[in-house]
Structure 1
Amino acid sequence: MSSIVFENVSRVFQRNGEDLLTLDGISLDIHDKEFVAVVGPSGCGKTTCLRMAAGLEFPSSGAVSVAGKEVKRPGPERAVVFQQFALFPWKTVWENIDFGLRSKGLAQGERRDIIEKYLRLMNLTGCETAYPHQLSGGMQQRVAIARAYALNPGVLLMDEPFGALDAQTRVVMQEELVRLARLSPRTVMFITHAVEESVYLADRVVIMTSRPGRVKEIIDIKPVREAHHWDQYNKIEDVMDLESFVHLRTHIWKSLREEHAGREH
């Protein structure tokens, strides 16, 4: 069971010799194979939460655990996809995906089967011998996501993975990720600034307050998605036209606007 649990987590940074409280008392459970998006104003600590789940940063107080074990360091059961694609520029698409599988000591035949599976799922067949600089941004991010899924992690941590993409490519990648999440579900923590993206992708959306970041509200998306059959639509624009989608998007926008307004006064 690959759940992520934040237990009363706070994080203090030092700035100009003074303590800066960035996160304050975050308590959150992300259940096994649940897709949770986190939205909030800039500087509220969204990415800090993800980095703590990844074992790249640590709480000043409280604890973060994955699969019932407190996070002390990065681990193979947690894969991270960043906004910047983080591919090895000197390796081909195939070699980039193969790198982590080699590190796990898998046999060549098993590695081949896994790589071919995720090349096919991410529509990368035919790009096996290409180098990252020969691919568009969207194609590079497909490779990064394929590499993460190929490792078969229980937890997938995604920090604004589509933030560097143009609008049209971003929509295509959102549709691809929804399809992949249904075919090969993982426990996903997804950080984004895009409200529409969070509603379209997630089972639940966590809204954070302005700094110091706290959990303001958690919106249950999955029951609405299932009740109104969003998954019967292949294109995001068809889902975004639905009254149920518009209602959820508007609710989240209003909640975030309250935080921006409060910060300005």
Structure 2
Amino acid sequence: MGAIRFDNVGKVFGRANSGFAALEAVDLDIREREFVAIVGPSGCGKTTCLRMVAGFESVSSGRVLVNDRVVKAPGSDRAVVFQQFALFPWKTVRQNIEFGLRNKRTPRDERNELVDDVLKLMTLESHRDAYPHQLSGGMQQRVAIARAYVLDPDVLLMDEPFGALDAQTRVVMQEELVRLARINPRTVLFITHAVEEAVYLADRVAIMSRRPGTIKEVIDVKTVRTSEDWDGFEKIEDVMDLESFVHLRTRIWKSLREEKVAVDG
């Protein structure tokens, strides 16, 4: 459940002869319940990769598969969390979270139970009757994540979900996502520009090249995290001081810098 595969994927926007190639020969396997972050220079096709898994964007060549099935359209086995919270301003927290369940025609008793469970999971119980404008940015994004979790998707797709938050709130949400991954793990494809965020959150970090984007390198973070017991540290600042964290961050940054220099000529 939840495995993702990019099989020699290419994407051309516009006509084949006059359009531009966004992706070229992308190969990447994401295992069930693995958290993979994709980083890369601006315009390399990170979000396009995510949109293909979501079923929002078609491939020009190759295949994208989820659970060994070729992705052709959006599906209930995948949920997306965007950078913008995309909450309904006229609905309460509870009503926003249950929106997808209503669309699925989930029976009311089951729907209420599922929403209550995710409110507890996301520590939103005291805000259930609040409206989005009454919440901070971090709380609004927590609601957006809860809305995705309540659908019980195999795959969670997160497109720079903390990019619109201030620095302090972003750190809190990163720590919250780590907590959720331990309690209720999902297969996660996470797009970010922030190298430190990728290293802190992901089991593996996939580095994309400049356009046309391809997978340049995949860095294993989980092995290092497990061997040095990063989970024993409660705060992100404690992990960021570790020599292993600094080494991984520097390695990824140098690889990205090579692509940035090439783009700038």
Aligned residue type for 1:152 = D
> Once the 2 structures are TM-superposed, how far is the Cα of residue 106 of structure 1 from its aligned partner?
2.5
Matches of 2:226 and 2:116, distance apart in 1: 31
- 1:129 paired with 2:126, answer no
Aligned residue type for 2:24 = D
Cα deviation digits, residues 92-115 of structure 1 (max 9, x gap)? 000011111222332323222221
Cα deviation digits, residues 5-30 of structure 1 (max 9, x gap)? 11100000128x82201100001111
State the Cα RMSD in Å: 1.1
Matches of 1:105 and 1:23, distance apart in 2: 38
- 1:101 corresponds to which residue? 101
Aligned residue type for 2:77 = E
- 1:58 corresponds to which residue? 58
- 1:13 paired with 2:13, answer yes
The DSSP-based 3-state class of the residue aligned with 1:177 is: helix
Aligned residue type for 1:72 = K
Aligned residue type for 1:209 = S
Equivalent residues in 2 for 1:93-172 (5 A)?
Answer: 93-172=93-172
Matches of 1:249 and 1:118, distance apart in 2: 33
What runs of 5+ residues in structure 2 fail to find an aligned partner? Answer: none
Aligned residue type for 1:191 = I
Matches of 2:37 and 2:130, distance apart in 1: 32
Which one is further off, 95-104 or 231-240? 95-104
- 1:192 corresponds to which residue? 192
The DSSP-based 3-state class of the residue aligned with 1:126 is: helix
> Once the 2 structures are TM-superposed, how far is the Cα of residue 263 of structure 1 from its aligned partner?
1.4
Matches of 2:84 and 2:26, distance apart in 1: 27
Equivalent residues in 2 for 1:32-51 (5 A)?
Answer: 32-51=32-51
Q: Across the two proteins, how many residue pairs are aligned to each other?
A: 264
Cα deviation digits, residues 45-101 of structure 1 (max 9, x gap)? 000000000000011111111111111100011000000011111110000111112
Matches of 1:257 and 1:103, distance apart in 2: 45
- 2:260 corresponds to which residue? 260
Identity, in percent, stands at 67
Matches of 1:142 and 1:264, distance apart in 2: 37
Matches of 1:240 and 1:13, distance apart in 2: 39
Give the TM-score normalised by the residue count of structure 1.
Answer: 0.97
Which one is further off, 212-221 or 113-122? 113-122
Matches of 2:120 and 2:59, distance apart in 1: 39
Matches of 1:248 and 1:113, distance apart in 2: 42
> Once the 2 structures are TM-superposed, how far is the Cα of residue 254 of structure 1 from its aligned partner?
0.5
Matches of 1:243 and 1:105, distance apart in 2: 51
The DSSP-based 3-state class of the residue aligned with 1:85 is: coil
The DSSP-based 3-state class of the residue aligned with 2:126 is: coil
- 1:75 paired with 2:52, answer no
- 1:212 corresponds to which residue? 212
> Once the 2 structures are TM-superposed, how far is the Cα of residue 136 of structure 1 from its aligned partner?
1.0
Aligned residue type for 2:104 = K
- 2:244 corresponds to which residue? 244
The DSSP-based 3-state class of the residue aligned with 1:42 is: coil
Aligned residue type for 2:37 = A
Matches of 1:233 and 1:105, distance apart in 2: 42
- 2:86 corresponds to which residue? 86
Matches of 1:113 and 1:34, distance apart in 2: 27
Give the TM-score normalised by the residue count of structure 2.
Answer: 0.97
- 1:183 paired with 2:183, answer yes
